[in-house]
Amino acid sequence: MAQLSMEEARALAERALRKAGAREAMAASTAQALVRAEAQGLASHGLTRVPQYATHLRNGRADGLAVAVVARQKGAALLIDAKHGLAFPACDLAIGNAIATARTLGVCFVGITNSHHCGVLVDHLRAVTDAGMIGLGFANSPSAMPAAGGKHPIFGTNPVAAAFPRRNNAPLMIDLSLSEVARGKVMVAAKEGKPIPLGWALDRDGNPTTDAKAALEGSMLPLGAVSSPKGSMLALMVELLVTAVIGAQFGFEASSFFVDEGNVPRLGQAFLVIDPGALAGSDAYYDRIEILIAEMLSDEGVRLAGARRTGLERRADESGLTIPDALKNQLDMLAA
Amino acid sequence: MAQLSMEEARALAERALRKAGAREAMAASTAQALVRAEAQGLASHGLTRVPQYATHLRNGRADGLAVAVVARQKGAALLIDAKHGLAFPACDLAIGNAIATARTLGVCFVGITNSHHCGVLVDHLRAVTDAGMIGLGFANSPSAMPAAGGKHPIFGTNPVAAAFPRRNNAPLMIDLSLSEVARGKVMVAAKEGKPIPLGWALDRDGNPTTDAKAALEGSMLPLGAVSSPKGSMLALMVELLVTAVIGAQFGFEASSFFVDEGNVPRLGQAFLVIDPGALAGSDAYYDRIEILIAEMLSDEGVRLAGARRTGLERRADESGLTIPDALKNQLDMLAA
């Protein structure tokens, strides 16, 4: 394993993205987000994405020279065009404008069209909680899950995120994809030759399967799919919010991020920013969230959303990151 | 079983609520909503609620003379105070104002505080889709589910709803509570002496149970709880959105709706209304949603969200409602 300080990791990722064709601000924003994910223990959204994004920058699936713009604003509704660039600078622009709008209009809904993979969705909401506001996030992704009753993937795992500021503590951070489990869990089972529970996945013919290898060729199932269509209904809701409503492409129209060749994904993200000062009032909000959290923690065994990630990130800030040698070598080559 | 036309059922429910002390507009709005739920086959949110609401109106858990007001508006953020009345007139006021605000500002987030049970959440969004807009809805309810890792109920089953208009078809209507299954399914199993699957519920000590009777004394589990804390994270997100952010009471602070005596629930609802005309543009929106729906329906076995309810409602409009004799007698007595 290789050791890097946070700053070394950031600089290395930034250089690799620059070499692949990302303009300075895009490389900087993207590198910072990926290092932050790595620091939180979210390796699947961390530095392993640098080679993937670099490939997309090189083969035209993402435009390294794109400059995201405010395409439209009507009151508290805002549309950002990522112009087929990496998603991070477009998300920065969206969130910055949404906070400013919510400050005057109490709330802002911002959509980002022509976008790419947005990494850890909830991390985009950090600036929102820093501003004392509440944020929700939605995103689609290349198709991986069937509609209710269906046999073939149509929706992405379509994450939902929420962030709630606290007065004297790290914000409450919620971030989840709408599949029953992450694909990574199926990959681990396949590697170990172990079966998976019913309700995790379908095989390529759309039949429920306990065979991890068959599952990898099929679809992931939505949250709670063994009992009801609720998870797929939520995935449909997210899909429409970030596509038809704002102009981005459906998950079934986008090629997987994990193949090198493929189309420009043109996916969508959307954020809702709410100023509690315009509703309950900020003092009331901060008082009340602590009452709920105290009640939650009075039940032994309850852990707060995002607490584990926050702890890992604090440790990484002090002691740096540890990544596989192979990944370190790959990054060094890309940055050279 | 007793047969009633829709109009007879509406008038009967309205009279019963009036007799219990609801002012005219509150009784009318509530009766219409409950009959609509009954017509859609949602008996648990239909006419059986009339006796429950009547009891609450009589014992002060709901104020029949309350007149909901706009308590605050800042730009696109709107706060309605239901003044401890039944929820329906407050929801009507909220949605009417939210549509008007979204027409000028593109979007509106409206919270309703000091509220009561809001019935079928998605039905409040019908006026939104009639106006060519998209609506989301959130609500909390008396505590029924534990936080992630917890043993005791803290969150309600906290429903999420979404409604998306279509050009020449009934809107797509999504409405789901965040429990793995409805409590009604556990009650049926308990009655039949059958076990329930693991992942549906905990017993009163917070242990996973397959005993339906033990489950009824414990907590319902959130969506997908057998695999992950995702469902309880969503319930936490909804809980905070409709309480701390807008000033309403937490689910754990409200007495159950199913006990006669108890406190004034002071629960919360929130709606987000988005005008696609301010983002992708209405034509683009209507074109794109049809493309997604066509792709969904190309997968044999997929049924659209809300289609079953819409079909049942249409039939009820033509042939009326059938309700148990006992319920009919109860309504007649309340209305006499």
Spatial distance between the Cα atoms of A116 and A26, rounded to a whole number of angstroms: 12
A84 burial type by CB count under 10 A (0-12 exposed, 13-18 middle, 19+ buried) = buried
The residue count for chain A? 336
> Is any Cβ of chain B less than 8 angstroms from the Cβ of A247?
yes
Nearest Cα to Cα of residue A29 among A113, A112, A93, A88: A88
Q: A-B interface: how many C-beta pairs under 8 angstroms?
A: 264
Query: B6 and B105 share a domain?
Result: no
Rounded (5°) CA angle A288-A133-A267? 125
Spatial distance between the Cα atoms of B330 and B16, rounded to a whole number of angstroms: 10
Which of B106, B227, B247 is closest, CB to CB, to A74?
Answer: B106
pLDDT of residue B48 exceeding 90 = yes
User: What is the number of other CB atoms lying within 10 angstroms of the CB of residue B23?
Assistant: 17
Query: A11 and A142 share a domain?
Result: no
Interface mutation target, options A72, A122, A296, chain B, most CBs of B under 10 Å: A296
Spatial distance between the Cα atoms of A155 and A179, rounded to a whole number of angstroms: 10
Q: What is the pLDDT of residues B95-144, one digit of tens each?
A: 999 999 999 999 999 999 999 999 999 999 999 999 999 999 999 999 99
Query: B230 and B285 share a domain?
Result: yes
**Which residues does chain B have within 8 Å of residue A74's beta carbon, measured at their own beta carbons?**
105-106, 275, 278
pLDDT at A93: 98
Interface mutation target, options A136, A227, A249, A267, chain B, most CBs of B under 10 Å: A227
> Is any Cβ of chain B less than 8 angstroms from the Cβ of A296?
yes
The residue count for chain B? 336
Give the closest-approach CA distance of B212 to chain A in angstroms.
Answer: 16
Query: B282 and B140 share a domain?
Result: yes
> Is any Cβ of chain A less than 8 angstroms from the Cβ of B136?
yes
Nearest Cα to Cα of residue B24 among B34, B14, B33: B14
Which of B285, B292, B303 is closest, CB to CB, to A148?
Answer: B303
| C-alpha distances out from residue A2 to A50, A281, A300, A315, A321, Å | 16, 48, 38, 16, 8
pLDDT at B28: 98
Note every long-range contact of A14-19, with CB atoms under 8 Å and residues 24 or more positions apart, other chains counting.
A15/A334, A15/A335, A16/A50, A16/A51, A16/A54, A16/A331, A16/A334, A16/A335, A17/A50, A17/A53, A17/A54, A17/A57, A17/A64, A17/A86, A19/A54, A19/A334, A19/A335, A19/A336
B209 is a domain residue: no
Which of B77, B160, B231 is closest, CB to CB, to A275?
Answer: B77
- Residue % of chain B over a pLDDT of 70: 100
Give the closest-approach CA distance of B85 to chain A in angstroms.
Answer: 19
Rounded (5°) CA angle B150-B151-B155? 65
pLDDT of residue B259 exceeding 90 = no
Whether B149 sits inside 8 A of A302 (CB atoms) is yes
**Which residues does chain B have within 8 Å of residue A288's beta carbon, measured at their own beta carbons?**
243-244, 247, 250
What ipTM was predicted for this assembly?
A: 0.97
Q: At what angle do helices A325-335 and A49-59 cross, to 10 degrees?
A: 30
Give the chain A residue nearest B289 (alpha carbons). A244
Spatial distance between the Cα atoms of B47 and B14, rounded to a whole number of angstroms: 11
Task: Pinpoint the alpha helices (H) of chain A.
Answer: 6-19, 24-39, 49-59, 87-105, 126-130, 183-192, 212-216, 230-241, 282-297, 307-319, 325-335
B197 is a domain residue: no
A195 is a domain residue: no
Instruction: Specify the residue for token string 């543009």.
Output: B281
Give the closest-approach CA distance of B124 to chain A in angstroms.
Answer: 17
Query: B162 and B270 share a domain?
Result: yes
> Is any Cβ of chain B less than 8 angstroms from the Cβ of A207?
no
Question: What is the domain count for chain B?
Answer: 2
CATH classification of the domain holding B2: 1.10.1530.10
Whether B280 sits inside 8 A of A247 (CB atoms) is yes
DSSP 8-state code for residue A260: S
Dihedral angle of Cα B315, B320, B326, B327, to the nearest 10 degrees: 80
pLDDT at B258: 86
How would you classify the pairing of strands B134-139 and A201-202?
A: unpaired
Q: Is B132 helix (H, G, I), strand (E, B) or coil?
A: coil
> Is any Cβ of chain B less than 8 angstroms from the Cβ of A198?
no
- Hey, CA dihedral for A306, A312, A316, A317, is it positive or negative? positive
CATH classification of the domain holding B139: 3.30.1370.60
**Which residues does chain A have within 8 Å of residue B275's beta carbon, measured at their own beta carbons?**
74, 77
pLDDT of residue B75 exceeding 90 = yes
User: What is the number of other CB atoms lying within 10 angstroms of the CB of residue A241?
Assistant: 28
Which of B76, B174, B181 is closest, CB to CB, to A76?
Answer: B76
Interface mutation target, options A78, A79, A99, A105, chain B, most CBs of B under 10 Å: A105
**Which residues does chain B have within 8 Å of residue A199's beta carbon, measured at their own beta carbons?**
226-227
Query: A11 and A138 share a domain?
Result: no
Nearest Cα to Cα of residue B302 among A241, A230, A229, A224: A229
Give the closest-approach CA distance of B36 to chain A in angstroms.
Answer: 22
Query: A12 and A88 share a domain?
Result: no
A216 is a domain residue: no
A172 is a domain residue: yes
pLDDT at A306: 86
Backbone φ, ψ for residue B204 (5° rounding): -65, -20
Which of A223, A244, A302 is closest, CB to CB, to B230?
Answer: A223
Which residues in chain A land under pLDDT 70? none
Q: A283: which 2 tokens?
A: 């003092």
Q: What single letter denotes the amino acid at residue B182? A: A
Q: Buried (b) or exposed (e) across A161-191, using 16+ Cβ within 10 A?
A: bbbbbeeeebbbbbbbbbbbbbbebbeebbe
In what order do the strands lie in the sheet containing A77-81? A69-74, A77-81, A107-115, A267-274, A134-139, A160-164, A172-176
pLDDT at B201: 97
**Which residues does chain B have within 8 Å of residue A246's beta carbon, measured at their own beta carbons?**
279-280
Residues 19-48 of B with CB under 8 A from A: none
Whether B244 sits inside 8 A of A109 (CB atoms) is no
Is there a contact between A264 and A56 (Cβ–Cβ < 8 Å)?
A: no
Spatial distance between the Cα atoms of A156 and A145, rounded to a whole number of angstroms: 6
pLDDT at A258: 86
Which of A75, A243, A302 is closest, CB to CB, to B147?
Answer: A302
A273 is a domain residue: yes
pLDDT at A147: 97
Task: Pinpoint the alpha helices (H) of B40-112.
Answer: 49-59, 87-105
Query: A272 and A333 share a domain?
Result: no
pLDDT at A261: 85
**Which residues does chain A have within 8 Å of residue B150's beta carbon, measured at their own beta carbons?**
296, 299-302
Q: Is B216 helix (H, G, I), strand (E, B) or coil?
A: helix
Query: A154 and A38 share a domain?
Result: no
Q: Buried (b) or exposed (e) across A298-323, using 16+ Cβ within 10 A?
A: ebeebebbbeebeeebeebeeebbeb
Model confidence band, residue B209 (pLDDT cutoffs 50, 70, 90): very high
Rounded (5°) CA angle B253-B254-B258? 150
Spatial distance between the Cα atoms of A302 and B147, rounded to a whole number of angstroms: 6
Nearest Cα to Cα of residue A279 among B264, B70, B103: B70
Whether B136 sits inside 8 A of A237 (CB atoms) is yes
**Which residues does chain A have within 8 Å of residue B295's beta carbon, measured at their own beta carbons?**
154, 250, 252
Sequence-distant (≥ 6) Cβ neighbours of residue B90 within 8 angstroms: B68, B80, B81, B82, B83, B112, B115, B269
pLDDT at B261: 85
User: What is the number of other CB atoms lying within 10 angstroms of the CB of residue A73?
Assistant: 16
Whether A280 sits inside 8 A of B113 (CB atoms) is yes
B216 is a domain residue: no
Domain membership of residue A311 as a residue range: 1-59+306-336
pTM for the model stands at: 0.97
Arithmetic mean of pLDDT over chain B: 96
Query: A293 and A174 share a domain?
Result: yes
Model confidence band, residue B260 (pLDDT cutoffs 50, 70, 90): confident
Spatial distance between the Cα atoms of B320 and B318, rounded to a whole number of angstroms: 6
Give the chain B residue nearest A104 (alpha carbons). B75
Spatial distance between the Cα atoms of B51 and B327, rounded to a whole number of angstroms: 9
Query: A258 and A295 share a domain?
Result: yes
B200 is a domain residue: no
Spatial distance between the Cα atoms of B178 and B2, rounded to a whole number of angstroms: 33
**Which residues does chain A have within 8 Å of residue B223's beta carbon, measured at their own beta carbons?**
223-224, 228, 230-231
Spatial distance between the Cα atoms of A178 and A157, rounded to a whole number of angstroms: 5
Query: B143 and B289 share a domain?
Result: yes
